[in-house]
Amino acid sequence: MKNQKGFTLIELMIVVAIIAILAAIAIPAYQDYVVRSQAASALAEITPGKVGFEQATNEGKTPSTTATDAGFIGVAASTSYCNVAVTATTIACTTKNGNATKFNSKNITWTRDANSGLWSCSTSLDAKYRPGQCGAAAAPTP
């Protein structure tokens, strides 16, 4: 009887099955990780605008995302992951360029309380994708 060299077909099929099971677990987890990182990036793109917003408000100017306006808050109207809109009390991001169904066309909004001057974050993203600063019960931040 000859010595066997290599693997039998059944051994190779078992290895393929194990790899398939691991991939079935890892791929959705990775996709969730990507959406969370895109959400954190989107929030990071609009957060610096809070300083410019405060400055414009304190100087009596209307906050804006247009670089030529006197009330420019330092955030462009379109960033990598956001279409940015500014109102008298909010800096809002409508998400784009991410995972189509889980991320795109969602809202991430910083809202300034006119009385206290504190900012609070809200979002339409599913809870598992929300950035830490932007949870359902997020505390206002100065």
| Domains in the chain: ranges and CATH | 9-134 (3.30.700.10)
Q: Is the dihedral of CA 12, 18, 22, 25 positive or negative?
A: positive
Supply 113's token pair.
Answer: 């309380």
Q: What is the 3-state secondary structure (H, E, C) of 44-113?
A: HHHCCHHHHHHHHHHCCCCCECCCCCCCECCCCCECCCEEEEECCCEEEEEECCCCCCCCCCCEEEEEEC
| pLDDT tens string 58-114 | 999 989 988 888 889 999 999 999 999 999 899 999 999 987 788 999 999 999 998
What does the mean pLDDT of the chain come to?
A: 89
Quick one: average pLDDT of 115-119? 92
- Global pTM value: 0.80
Q: What is the dihedral of CA 89, 76, 126, 54, to 10 degrees?
A: -30
Residue 139 has pLDDT above 50, yes or no: no
Predicted confidence at residue 71, as pLDDT, reads 84
Are the C-beta atoms of 84 and 77 separated by less than 8 Å? Answer: yes
Predicted confidence at residue 54, as pLDDT, reads 93
Q: How far apart are CA 138 and CA 124, in angstroms?
A: 13
- The residue assigned the tokens 């994708």 is 129
| pLDDT tens string 12-45 | 999 999 999 999 999 999 999 999 999 999 999 9
Predicted confidence at residue 15, as pLDDT, reads 94
Are the C-beta atoms of 99 and 116 separated by less than 8 Å? Answer: no
